Amino acid sequence: MKKVAYVRTSTGKQTLGIEVQREALTAYKPDLWYIEQVSGRKEDREQLNKALDVLEEGDTLIVYKLDRLGRSTKQLVNLISQLDDRGIHLSIVTEGIDTSSPTGRLVFTILSAVAEMEASLISERTKQALAMSPNKGGRPKLDGAIKQSVIEMYYDYKKTALEISEELSISESSVYRIIKLYKLNNTSG
């Protein structure tokens, strides 16, 4: 009977999160490790799929926290059902859940509902904040006058993208997008 550790963070910027999970799971002496950086809402996760493929009856999947496995109750319940059907146990370290017992399975189901509610609340707060914000997410729209100023400053006055961005109070990347869009070249006369 082997123990398989699964570690996940949402983005590549969360390397500390990976290290924290690895450190906590090391105490359980896993035989195999599967680590990835992908959204928990994504259904098809390469490393999770690999971990599930190597698990056999009597084995244990070990994760740091419930939300490392998924963000929706449906996703989590389907996963636990799949593991249960195959005779595979799930151990969730921070919640102290072990699905080898009926109580562990009940607690898992309750916590997966809480995890989904938490994700929904975060989404709702984000939508409310965006609704109140003048910037609705994404890049701010640049009006024609700003674009014309960029063109003149870059082409006629030979200013750098950084100088233009500072003078017009726009991002340097916006200046580069306009330069690319209009195929500007300030080396010609």
Tens digit of pLDDT per residue, the chain (189 long)?
999 999 998 876 666 688 899 999 999 999 999 999 888 778 789 999 999 999 999 999 999 998 888 877 778 878 887 888 898 999 999 988 888 788 887 887 787 777 778 778 888 888 888 788 766 666 667 888 888 888 888 877 788 889 998 888 898 888 888 888 887 776 544
Predicted local confidence at residue 70, as pLDDT: 81
Residue 102 and residue 17 in one domain: yes
Residues 9 and 26: beta-carbon distance below 8 Å: no
Q: Pick the catalytic residue: 10, 72, 100, 171?
A: 10
pLDDT of residue 31: 97
**Residue 16: predicted pLDDT:** 64
The whole-angstrom separation of Cα 155 and Cα 187 is: 8
Span 147-180, pLDDT tens digits = 888 888 887 778 888 999 888 889 888 888 888 8
Residues 96, 36, single domain; the answer is yes
Distances (CA, A) of 42 to 9, 14, 39: 12, 17, 5
Residue 63 lies in a domain: yes
* Domains held by the chain: number: 2
Query: In this structure, is residue 187 part of a structural domain?
Result: no
Respond yes or no: is residue 188 known to be catalytic.
Answer: no
Identify whether residues 160 and 89 lie together within a single domain. Answer: no
Is the domain of 109 the same as that of 158? no
Contact at 8 Å (CB) between 60 and 91? Answer: yes
Cβ atoms within 10 A of the Cβ of 107, count?
Answer: 18
Can you give the residue range of the structural domain that contains 82?
A: 3-131
**Do 52 and 99 reside in the same domain of the chain?**
yes
115 & 172 share domain = no
pTM: 0.58
SS3 156: helix
* Residue 35 belongs to domain with CATH number: 3.40.50.1390
Same domain membership, residue 90 and residue 10: yes
Whose CA is closest to 3, among 47, 41, 48, 51? Answer: 51
User: 97-98 and 89-92: which strand pairing?
Assistant: antiparallel
Q: Are residues 56 and 124 in the same domain?
A: yes
The residue count of the chain comes to 189
Two tokens at 3? 């123990």
